[in-house]
Structure 1
Amino acid sequence: MMPGPFELIIILVIVLLLFGGKRLKNIGGDLGGAIKGFKKSMKEGENDNIDSTDTVIDAKVIKEEDKVTK
């Protein structure tokens, strides 16, 4: 069941009493900045292309036990 407008107003008043208006403003600004940064990094990630001239290096995993016995 969704809270009605009266319940939302009560929740808002309680939050304002707990955190204060200035602190809520700072939290909102920080949250907005984080979302903008996330969106910006997602757009930059889409523009990154893998260069086909990259070289592939083969690697072999050697266990510690194999090093001692050789």
Structure 2
Amino acid sequence: LLVQASHVENSGRNQTNREYMREYVLPDWVDVDNLRAKMSEDSTLTVEAPIPHDRIPILNRQIKITQ
């Protein structure tokens, strides 16, 4: 998943350019064909990465109990 953003601000004779780029490696079990992204009014980006039920990883964890 690659997230890119840019912003240009002009104030009189000055111009400010800001750019952002970040790459995220998604787990194999994520359904990348159904990723969804939305931007809120306060410029917060939310990305939803669904996991199909048949791909949910089974995580086994053992915890040692001591007295």
TM bin, normalised by shorter chain, reads under 0.3
Q: When you count strand as a share of all residues, which structure comes out higher?
A: 2
Greater relative contact order (CA < 8 Å, ≥ 6 in sequence): 2
Which entry has the higher C-alpha Rg, 1 or 2?
A: 1
Bigger helix fraction = 1
Scaled by the length of structure 2, the TM-score of the pair is: 0.23
